[in-house]
């Protein structure tokens, strides 16, 4: 399998190259040159998660990584999950299911792809005996999952930027209490947008580039999305019958695009619904065709506080029938002007691929309480956005799966307030307090961050 850029001006690469470079050199995102079909055998219910993941990764990584490397990555992933099914489905109501994605080492769905990406990157670097620096901005979950996945990796240095005081205490402790020489945690005196801007600055800094290969583990990286396809395949197979609609709590649209890819590959995936909080660029563009950036609003579902969902570019690329010139023009205009208007034909195509539902803060809190009283489930604010959106769909239209993306104990303040009791911490979130923390505070300027990296 080869990979091309959504902007059409970068050389074709293999899986390992796409994974190690993150963004394509023309500023586009890597996508498979053609969409493969999932192995038909995977449509049977009850196939182990490891089997599905191995098959999906082999399809995408093909010749570029050895079968042994893929096998080791999948085995490590499954070993680190605390649930035998890895991503169990829990039925809430006659036609409503919860897909629990939070049984991994940092109790958020990002573990699923990050654990795989860490092993696969290490294997790819071992082949050429080279080294890589990864930089990533986080509003909490990405950083925690990345620190845990990459800690101790021999050939990789990881630099994580989080906005000081704006990640939950549990999320901060998950990142900062891991003692590993190859991890640098920076608390930026600014917001998440400052962190993203600084990461872009680092990725294009000549001096840093001169010191070695540089990449990112945000969901622009195709390896992240490839690692999120398997649970759509297993959930679709488990609910064999009318294809379920998946409601995905959405920030950068990476998870939802993985669902789109699973459907494109023939998995039993019906509609895709992106559930968003007040940072609703995706819902607005699907309503009126205007894609525009606004100031980020802080919400309870912090990991979805994203104004310009990076993976929207992959969807636009597909909805234009892979027209790279149009995709490039649209996103260059958006980058320059902060707004771009789509024509009616493109808007109609996008609406045929996905829909979006906006959920307010009040509805999010109310859903946390409702899920407990109606289903006996304690859910996190991100999951609550998805469940609230799922309950707005007509159950007569068939089964609905809402994705549960984080464990509620990562967000004790809002969950405790909505329920009147604190969510019980799973073992992986216990004993964090009191451990030594490793991080440094930094001003939100590129010069200040670069000075920290010497
Ligand atoms: C990252 C994250 C999301 C959003 O996923 P995207 O791929 O960015 O759309 C939703 N919920 C939780 C808990 C997350 O950590």
Question: 5 has which bridge partners?
Answer: 30
- What is the CB < 6 Å shell around ligand 1? 108, 110, 141, 219, 249-256, 303-304, 382, 405-406
Position 251 scores a pLDDT of 95
Strand runs (DSSP E) across 318-418, as ranges?
339-341, 355-358, 400-404
Position 448 scores a pLDDT of 97
pLDDT (tens digit per residue) in 195-218 = 988 998 998 888 888 888 899 998
Judge whether 441 counts as a catalytic residue. no
Q: Which two structure tokens, joined as six digits, stand for 171?
A: 């999320």
CA of 382, closest atom in ligand 1:
11
Mean pLDDT of 185-191: 95
Mean pLDDT of 165-192: 93
pLDDT (tens digit per residue) in 390-425 = 999 998 999 999 999 999 999 999 999 999 999 999
pLDDT at 454 over 80: no
pLDDT (tens digit per residue) in 360-378 = 999 999 999 999 999 999 9
* 295 contacts 275 by C-beta, under 8 angstroms: no
Which pairs count as long-range contacts for 308-311, CB under 8 Å and 24+ apart, including other chains?
308/281, 308/334, 309/250, 309/251, 309/252, 309/253, 309/281, 309/282, 310/29, 310/218, 310/219, 310/220, 310/252, 310/253, 310/254, 311/29, 311/219, 311/220, 311/225, 311/252, 311/253, 311/254, 311/256, 311/257
CA of 140, closest atom in ligand 1:
15
pLDDT (tens digit per residue) in 241-282 = 999 999 999 999 999 999 999 999 999 999 999 999 999 999
Distance 410 CA to ligand 1 centre (A): 13
String of b and e for 115-144 (b: at least 16 CB within 10 Å)? bbbbbbbbbbbeeeeeebbbbbbbbbbbbb
Q: Domain segments of the chain: what residues?
A: 89-107+224-423
Q: Which CATH code for domain 89-107+224-423?
A: 3.40.50.1100
pLDDT (tens digit per residue) in 34-84 = 999 999 999 999 999 999 999 999 999 988 999 999 999 999 999 999 999
Which amino acid residue places its CA nearest to atom 2 of ligand 1? 303
Distance 129 CA to ligand 1 centre (A): 33
Return the best residue to mutate from 148, 382, 389 for the ligand 1 pocket (most ligand atoms within 8 A of CB).
382
pLDDT (tens digit per residue) in 73-116 = 999 999 999 999 999 999 999 999 999 999 999 999 999 999 99
Position 338 scores a pLDDT of 94
Distance 130 CA to ligand 1 centre (A): 31
pTM, entire model = 0.96
Q: Which of 110, 200, 410, 441 is labelled catalytic?
A: 110
Pairing of strands 2-5, 30-32: antiparallel
Position 193 scores a pLDDT of 80
**Per-residue pLDDT band at 128 (split at 50, 70, 90):** confident
């Amino acid at each position: 399998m080869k990979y091309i850029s959504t902007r059409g001006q970068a050389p074709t690469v293999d899986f390992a190259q796409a994974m190690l470079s993150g963004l394509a050199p023309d500023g586009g995102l890597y996508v498979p040159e053609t969409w493969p079909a999932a192995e038909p055998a995977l449509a049977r219910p009850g196939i182990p998660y490891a089997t599905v993941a191995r098959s999906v990764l082999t399809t995408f990584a093909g010749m570029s990584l050895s079968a042994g490397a893929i096998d080791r990555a999948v085995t490590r992933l499954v070993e680190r999950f605390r649930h035998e099914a890895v991503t169990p489905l829990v039925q809430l109501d006659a036609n409503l299911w919860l897909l629990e994605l939070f049984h991994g080492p940092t109790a958020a769905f990002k573990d699923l792809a990050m654990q795989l990406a860490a092993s696969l990157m290490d294997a790819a670097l071992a082949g050429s005996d080279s080294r890589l620096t990864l930089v990533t901005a986080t509003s909490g979950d990405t950083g925690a999952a990345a620190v845990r996945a990459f800690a101790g990796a021999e050939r990789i240095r990881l630099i994580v930027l989080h906005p000081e005081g704006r990640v939950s205490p549990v999320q901060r402790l998950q990142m900062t209490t891991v003692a590993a020489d190859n991890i640098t945690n920076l608390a930026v005196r600014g917001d998440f947008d400052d962190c993203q801007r600084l990461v872009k600055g680092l990725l294009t800094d000549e001096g840093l580039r001169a010191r070695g290969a540089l990449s990112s583990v945000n969901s622009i990286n195709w390896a992240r999305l490839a690692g999120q396809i398997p649970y759509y395949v297993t959930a679709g197979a488990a609910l064999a019958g009318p294809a379920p609609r998946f409601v995905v709590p959405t920030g950068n649209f990476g998870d939802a695009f993985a669902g789109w890819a699973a459907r494109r590959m023939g998995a039993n995936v019906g509609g895709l619904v992106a559930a968003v909080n007040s940072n609703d660029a995706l819902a607005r563009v699907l309503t009126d065709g205007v894609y525009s950036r606004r100031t980020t609003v802080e919400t309870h579902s912090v990991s979805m506080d994203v104004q310009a969902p990076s993976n929207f570019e992959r969807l636009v690329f597909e909805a234009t029938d892979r027209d790279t010139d149009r995709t490039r023009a649209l996103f260059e205009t958006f980058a320059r002007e902060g707004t771009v208007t789509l024509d009616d034909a493109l808007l109609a195509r996008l609406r045929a691929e996905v829909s979006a539902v906006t959920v307010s803060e009040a509805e999010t809190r109310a859903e946390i309480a409702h899920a407990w009283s109606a289903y006996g489930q304690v859910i996190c604010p991100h999951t609550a956005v998805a469940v609230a959106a799922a309950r707005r769909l007509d159950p007569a239209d068939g089964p609905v799966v809402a994705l549960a993306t984080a464990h509620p104990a990562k967000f004790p303040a809002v969950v405790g307030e909505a329920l009147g009791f604190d969510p019980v911490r799973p073992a992986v979130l216990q004993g964090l307090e009191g451990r030594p923390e490793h991080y440094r505070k930094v001003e939100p300027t590129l010069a200040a961050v670069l000075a920290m990296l010497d």
